[in-house]
């Protein structure tokens, strides 16, 4: 059985007070709740990682970093090392389209980051996805396969639990225009087939593939009802605790 993951990507949003308030809401709402196979993950901006880990200690919520340098240390002004000293930090997003677009991260750089995350004993959440131009040009599959090949070339995986993949069509991120369940399913199926061919059916069948791009309480059920969609990587709609908790409930009640 694959995990259903409801991952909030807060990007560069919230201040300390808002982070604390959100943690309080979530910790309170989860008390005594049976989550089944639903895994909640929250990725705050870097300065709030330690505080979130402290506030959510003992709760079922996992905390993720939004990025990391691939370097362990050295002359890299402004970069930060993956904070493996932060006890409890288990996940790190790599390859988000905003990093690819604004920081010129190539598949090769993302691969190095992914390996750095795994070397730290943590799990990467690898983002891939095509732009509108690429979709309109009919090369979505080609782009997705190139990203998978480039980011995972030679990466050893022994089980589907070491990695999470998030398919995030760039044209759907922050635009309010989500991919339909069918559109997303088509790409998710392609990703799972690639995993089967490169690794094994067992591994492909146990790896969670998330959809991201304007996910909200109103469209989550349609997305989850697709056979290869195992949750969401959610930006805007994860910022409000009520909306995040509503999505958690939809996932918990999903049959």
Site residues, ligand PGA (CB under 6 A): 9, 168, 173-174, 212-215, 233-237
Residue nearest to ligand PGA (CB): 235
Name the residue nearer to ligand PGA (CB basis): 203 or 219. Answer: 219
Of the residues 55, 130, 168, 188, only one is catalytic, namely 168
DSSP states along 87-125: TT--EEEE--HHHHHHS---HHHHHHHHHHHHHTT-EEE
Cα–Cα distance for residue pair 209/213, rounded to 1 Å: 13
17 is catalytic: no
Of the residues 55, 96, 98, 105, only one is catalytic, namely 96
Cα–Cα distance for residue pair 6/61, rounded to 1 Å: 10
**From the CB of 97, what's the least distance to ligand PGA, in Å?**
7
Give the dihedral of Cα atoms 111, 114, 116, 120; nearest 10 deg: -160
Name the residue nearer to ligand PGA (CB basis): 5 or 203. Answer: 5
96 is catalytic: yes
**From the CB of 25, what's the least distance to ligand PGA, in Å?**
19
Give the dihedral of Cα atoms 152, 158, 162, 166; nearest 10 deg: 40
Return the biggest CA–CA distance within the chain: 50
Name the residue nearer to ligand PGA (CB basis): 70 or 219. Answer: 219
Instruction: Kindly give, in sequence order, each residue whose CB lies less than 8 Å from that of residue 78, ignoring residues fewer than 6 positions away.
Output: none
Name the residue nearer to ligand PGA (CB basis): 44 or 213. Answer: 213
Catalytic residue numbers, as ranges: 96, 168
């Amino acid at each position: 059985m694959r995990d259903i993951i409801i991952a909030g990507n807060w990007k560069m949003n919230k201040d300390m007070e808002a982070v604390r308030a959100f943690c309080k809401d979530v910790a309170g709402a989860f008390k005594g709740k049976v989550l089944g196979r639903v895994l909640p993950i929250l990725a705050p901006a870097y300065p709030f990682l330690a505080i979130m880990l402290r506030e959510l200690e003992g709760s079922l919520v996992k905390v993720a970093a939004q990025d990391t340098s691939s370097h362990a240390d050295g002359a890299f002004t402004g970069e930060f090392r993956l904070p493996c000293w932060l006890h409890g930090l288990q996940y790190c997003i790599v390859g988000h389209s905003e990093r690819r677009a604004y920081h010129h991260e190539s598949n090769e750089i993302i691969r190095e980051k992914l390996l750095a995350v795994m070397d730290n004993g943590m799990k990467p959440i690898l983002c891939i996805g095509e732009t509108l131009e690429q979709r309109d040009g009919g090369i979505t599959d080609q782009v997705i396969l190139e990203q998978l090949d480039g980011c995972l070339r030679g990466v050893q995986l022994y089980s589907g639990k070491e990695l999470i993949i998030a398919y995030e069509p760039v044209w759907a991120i922050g635009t309010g225009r989500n991919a339909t369940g069918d559109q997303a399913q088509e790409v998710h199926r392609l990703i799972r087939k690639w995993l089967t061919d490169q690794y094994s059916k067992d591994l492909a069948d146990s790896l969670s593939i998330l959809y991201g791009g304007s996910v909200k309480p109103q469209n989550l059920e349609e997305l989850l009802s697709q056979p290869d969609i195992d949750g969401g990587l959610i930006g805007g709609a994860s910022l409000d605790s009520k909306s995040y908790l509503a999505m958690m409930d939809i996932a918990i009640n999903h049959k």
